[in-house]
Amino acid sequence: MPKHASSPAPALTGVIQPVRIGFIPLADCAPLLVAGSRDLFRKHGVRVELSCEVGWATIREKLLYGQVDAAHAIAGLALAMRMGISSPPSPVVAPFVFNLHGDAITLSRDLWNRGVRDAASLKKLIRSTTSRRLTFGMVSRYASHHFLLRRWLISGGIHPGQDVRIVALPPTQMAANLAAGLIDGYCVGEPWNSVAVEKGAGWVVATSEQLAPGHPEKALIMGGAFITRHRDQAQAVINALRESCAFCDAPENRPEVVKVLAGSGFFNGCESMLKKSLIGPFDPGTGQNWDASSFHIFHRREANEPTSERGRWLLDEFIAHGLILPAQRADAAASLRDCWTSGALYFPEAPAAAPKPVSKPKKRKPLAHA
């Protein structure tokens, strides 16, 4: 797998160094790769160097120490880094959202063969099996994957951390660990669910669209120092990605999106698997295909805006799953306002809505479709 890929644009006048953007090879990194393929970064006056990373911990460290200027990252990472959870506090910002949805929960074929069909039947199996504790993978404690997996388990009466083990693994290693029997299931982004289905190692029990409609998935996270020093370049990156997201979201463009991803060298011949969630139908490995029209939302429903509603969802999930104490809500909300907000705060000329205050919702409910 090649380590670096660059926008094909030649050097531009007045730009000394390219903007370094880290990413993980997932279907929802499509706007980055498509922007490079379609020369959109050059069109908007910026050079970009993409750096393919192993996992979200590496993304966090490289953002923290300035080894990348920005990253395609799990949305919750911005709040975690601002608050100094598991790392020194860092003034990162997330002025742009790549996509809504994009994840799924995959269980082993062995669990299917033992009668598991949902969280409730998994609970029955756990009660009747005492030989070992089942293990499930997710990509990061701050990721929607973790929140969705825990909520799905809880819906069946399963206590995460007591009835089952939850471990963090890089997205690209999930399917291989499942096939080897090292884990019993996981929540991850595509195509790593479809890879397990294709190999006969797993089946999909639920998608993130089904579990939390409208949830923010990946965001563009930028270092605060980078934005301060290179405001024009930062805005140009956002403008290029916004145009790319609009292109990626159009159904008629999805075949080209798949070809760009498959031809990038980052997906090891996964073209058929990439098609399942980006074009559809989505094959969960259960004998009945699912509609994939909203599996990935790159631009519809104002997907690219880090709205206060989406910010509240992140904050509530951090509190619900013990990453932030309820007593810290006010401080966390202030950190969220500083990092998870419309690009207009940093780029007044940007055509984005003004940031809205983050307040505690009166009643907790899933994000509604717009």
Q: Same domain, yes or no, for 96 and 107?
A: no
Identify the domain boundary among 176, 193, 211.
Answer: 211
- 146 falls within a domain: yes
**Domain check: are 141 and 32 in the same one?**
no
In a shared domain, residues 81 and 10: yes
Assess if residue 191 is contained within a domain: yes
Query: Among the three residues 190, 211, 232, which one is the final residue of a domain in this structure?
Result: 211
Overall average pLDDT of the 315-342 stretch: 92
Given a cut of 80, whether residue 349 has pLDDT beyond it is no
Q: What is the 3-state secondary structure (H, E, C) of the chain?
A: CCCEEECCCCCCCCCCCCEEEEECCCHHHHHHHHHHHCCHHHHCCCCEEEEECCCHHHHHHHHHCCCCCEEEEECCHHHHHHHCCCCCCCCCEEEEEEEEECEEEEEEHHHHHCCCCCHHHHHHHHHHCCCCCCEEEECCCCCHHHHHHHHHHHHCCCCECCCEEEEECCHHHHHHHHHCCCCCEEEEECCHHHHHHHCCCEEEEEEHHHHCCCCEEEEEEECHHHHHHCHHHHHHHHHHHHHHHHHHHCHHHHHHHHHHHHCCCCCCCCHHHHHHHHCCCECCCCCCCECCCCCEECCHHHCCCCCHHHHHHHHHHHHHCCCCCHHHHHHHHHHHHHHCCCHHHCCCCCCCCCCCCCCCCCCCCCCCCC
Domain assignment of residue 192, yes or no = yes
Residues 56 and 108 in one domain: no
| Residue 72 counted as domain residue | yes
106 contacts: CB under 8 Å, gap ≥ 6: 174, 178, 185, 186, 187, 188, 193, 196, 197, 202, 203, 204, 205
Residue 361 lies in a domain: no
Q: What is the pLDDT of residue 59?
A: 96
Share of the chain above pLDDT 90, in %: 82
Query: Average pLDDT of 22-49?
Result: 97
User: Do the beta carbons of residue 227 and residue 93 sit within 8 Å?
Assistant: yes
Q: Distance between CA atoms of 258 and 299, rounded to whole angstroms? A: 17
- Per the domain annotation, does 13 fall within a domain? yes
One domain for residues 18 and 164: no
Beta bridge mates, 51? 4, 22
> Could you tell me if 185 and 206 lie in one domain?
yes
The single-letter code of the amino acid at 241 is L
Q: Decide if 353 contacts 344 (C-beta within 8 A).
A: yes
Residue 38 lies in a domain: yes
pLDDT value at residue 130: 72
pTM: 0.88
Where a domain ends, among 162, 194, 211?
211
Domain check: are 89 and 221 in the same one?
A: yes
User: Considering all CA atoms of the chain, what is the largest pairwise distance in Å, rounded to the nearest integer?
Assistant: 68
Span of 126-135, 137-146, 239-248, 289-298 with lowest mean pLDDT: 126-135
Question: pLDDT tens-digit profile of 145-192?
Answer: 999 999 999 999 999 989 999 999 999 999 999 999 999 999 999 999
Residue 364 maps to a domain: no
Q: How many domains does the chain have?
A: 2
Residues 127 and 90 in one domain: no
Kindly report the CATH number assigned to the domain that includes residue 114.
Answer: 3.40.190.10
pLDDT at position 297 is 98
Low-confidence winner among 74-83, 215-224, 345-354 (lowest mean pLDDT): 345-354
CB 313 within 8 A of CB 364: no
Is residue 136 domain-shared with residue 199, that is, in the same domain? yes
Same domain, 252 and 309: yes
Are residue 83 and residue 225 in the same domain, yes or no? yes
Q: Is the dihedral of CA 353, 357, 362, 367 positive or negative?
A: positive
**Which residues are CB-contacts of 95 (< 8 A; sequence separation ≥ 6)?**
220, 222, 238, 306, 341, 342, 343, 345, 346, 347, 352
Question: Would strands 19-23 and 4-6 be described as parallel, antiparallel, or unpaired?
Answer: unpaired
Looking at the structure, do residues 319 and 332 belong to the same domain, yes or no?
yes
What is the domain extent for residue 180?
A: 103-211
Q: What is the pLDDT of residue 342?
A: 61
Mean pLDDT value of segment 254-282 = 95
Is it the case that residue 1 has pLDDT exceeding 60? no
Q: Is the peptide bond before 191 cis (omega within 30 degrees of 0)?
A: yes
pLDDT of 16 reads 61
Amino acid, res. 326: P
